[in-house]
């Protein structure tokens, strides 16, 4: 009798434990809600990060670079209803606001007065050809600071610390941009490196990154193809430093070469290149590569190149 009672208690405990687990109770719950005001501005212009699996049934996102705090509740609700664009917007804006403090009380006014670069659209990326002058560099920096002074007020550190969770939420909803972003950027969403937070995040990343990347690959996302090509072969072949993601896989010259060849055919005008000769591989590897190439080629037919990780655009 006692044994039966104990077994029953264990079973009841297991049931209760499952009921207490947040993801079981709310499978699409997303990160914890953050307190904020309600939206003050109407949605007018879409500013969604690109994502292959983004749902098309949600209204436009708030314009880029507006204060995000007043939108938090709406974006949170939308993300929880499956809007990957809203989840990615939260990830991107919360991430760039992490650690932000007002530059100065009149930062925005100063930026308007002295910043010679246009306010919108803001080019977040550094000029590829370098700065045209020191004044150019200063104005660019000032402009970025002014954007943060506009986007970030009203957010606290607890809210910005959720950026990575929103990225993961978008990935779990099927956004392949988020999947690739998560897999290639373990350090970006849990700073500082080697902190408790980083260790916890990275332990989860180590188990999830490769399967996540493979989901994006199998969905035909060219960003996953590029990342896998670099991980399996190209980075090592070119003597480049291994990316964090590449450290999760063993070098594989066949996969590395095939993914590289498939990726090359995504560039405009390169779509109809003939199959490669597989030089650099031995006969057995070449046969394997040719078969893999033919098998995988249809997956990426008609796909176009996409910039990696829209949530990190601000930091490029």
Partner 1 sequence: MGRATLGVIGVAFLLGIGWSVTRHENASPLPITAAAPSGHAEVAPVMDDVRSGPLPTKDADTAWRRVTSSIACLGSAGSGTVATFVVDRSAGPMRRDPDAEGSPCEHGPLRDWRTIQRELERAARLGSVEARFAYASDPLLLEERRAADVDAWASWREHAPGYLDEAIARGDARAAVLVAITRDPAACDGVSGDPRCRGRPALAWILGPDPGEAFVHYLVARTLGDTSRLVDERLVTLGAQLEPAEVDAAQARAQEILGRARP
How far apart are CB 174 and partner 1 at their closest, in Å?
10
**In this complex, which beta carbon is closest to partner 1, that of residue 15 or of residue 114?**
15
Note the residues at the interface with partner 1 (CB under 8 A): 2, 5-7, 9-18, 20-21, 23-24, 168, 171-172, 186-187, 192-194, 199, 202-203, 205-208, 210-212, 214-215, 217-218, 241-244, 246-250, 252, 255
Q: Helices 134-151 and 84-96 sit at what angle, rounded to 10 degrees?
A: 120
How far apart are CB 99 and partner 1 at their closest, in Å?
14
How far apart are CB 263 and partner 1 at their closest, in Å?
17
**In this complex, which beta carbon is closest to partner 1, that of residue 17 or of residue 59?**
17
**In this complex, which beta carbon is closest to partner 1, that of residue 88 or of residue 111?**
88
**In this complex, which beta carbon is closest to partner 1, that of residue 142 or of residue 215?**
215
**In this complex, which beta carbon is closest to partner 1, that of residue 215 or of residue 265?**
215
How far apart are CB 250 and partner 1 at their closest, in Å?
4
Give the Cα separation of 49 and 312 in Å (integer): 10
* DSSP states along 62-108: PPTTS-SGGGHHHHHHHHHTT-HHHHHHHHHHHHHTTT---S-TTHH
Longest C-alpha distance within the chain, in Å? Answer: 85
- Tokens for 90? 């939260």
The alpha carbons of the chain give a radius of gyration, in whole angstroms, of 23
**Is 157:84 a contact under the CB 8 Å cutoff?**
no
How far apart are CB 138 and partner 1 at their closest, in Å?
23
**In this complex, which beta carbon is closest to partner 1, that of residue 101 or of residue 113?**
101
Q: How many CB atoms lie within 10 A of CB 187?
A: 14
Give the Cα separation of 248 and 29 in Å (integer): 29
Is 100 exposed, middle or buried (CB count within 10 Å of its CB: 0-12, 13-18, 19+)?
A: middle
How far apart are CB 87 and partner 1 at their closest, in Å?
14
**In this complex, which beta carbon is closest to partner 1, that of residue 49 or of residue 186?**
186
How far apart are CB 286 and partner 1 at their closest, in Å?
16
* DSSP states along 3-57: HHHHHHHHHHHHHHHHHH-HHHH-TT--SPP---PPP-S---S--PPP-TT--SS
């Amino acid at each position: 009798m006692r044994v039966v009672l104990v077994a029953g208690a264990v079973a009841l405990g297991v049931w209760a434990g499952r009921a207490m687990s947040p993801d079981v109770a709310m499978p699409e719950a997303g990160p914890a809600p953050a307190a904020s005001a309600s939206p003050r501005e109407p949605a007018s212009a879409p500013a969604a990060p690109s994502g292959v699996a983004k749902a098309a049934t949600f209204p436009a996102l708030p314009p880029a670079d507006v204060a995000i705090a007043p939108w938090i509740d709406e974006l949170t609700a939308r993300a929880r209803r499956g809007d990957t664009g809203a989840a990615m917007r939260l990830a991107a804006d919360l991430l760039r606001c992490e650690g932000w403090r007002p530059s100065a009380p009149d930062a925005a006014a100063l930026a308007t007065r002295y910043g010679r670069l246009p306010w919108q659209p803001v080019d977040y990326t550094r000029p590829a050809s370098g700065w045209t002058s020191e004044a150019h560099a200063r104005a660019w920096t000032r402009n970025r600071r002014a954007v943060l002074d506009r986007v970030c007020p009203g957010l606290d550190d607890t809210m910005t610390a959720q950026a990575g969770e929103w990225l993961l939420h978008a990935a779990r909803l099927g956004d392949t941009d988020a999947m690739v972003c998560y897999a290639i950027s373990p350090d970006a969403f849990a700073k500082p490196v080697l902190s408790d937070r980083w260790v916890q995040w990275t332990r989860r990343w180590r188990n999830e990154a490769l399967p996540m990347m493979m989901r994006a690959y199998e969905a035909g996302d060219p960003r996953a193809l590029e990342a896998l090509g670099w991980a399996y072969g190209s980075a090592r072949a070119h003597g480049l430093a291994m990316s964090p993601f590449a450290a999760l896989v063993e070098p594989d010259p066949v996969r590395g070469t095939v993914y590289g060849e498939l990726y090359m055919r995504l560039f405009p005008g390169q779509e109809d290149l003939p199959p490669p000769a597989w030089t650099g591989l031995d006969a057995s590897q070449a046969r394997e590569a040719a078969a893999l190439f033919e098998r995988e080629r249809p997956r990426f037919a008609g796909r176009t190149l996409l910039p990696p990780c829209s949530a990190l655009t601000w930091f490029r």
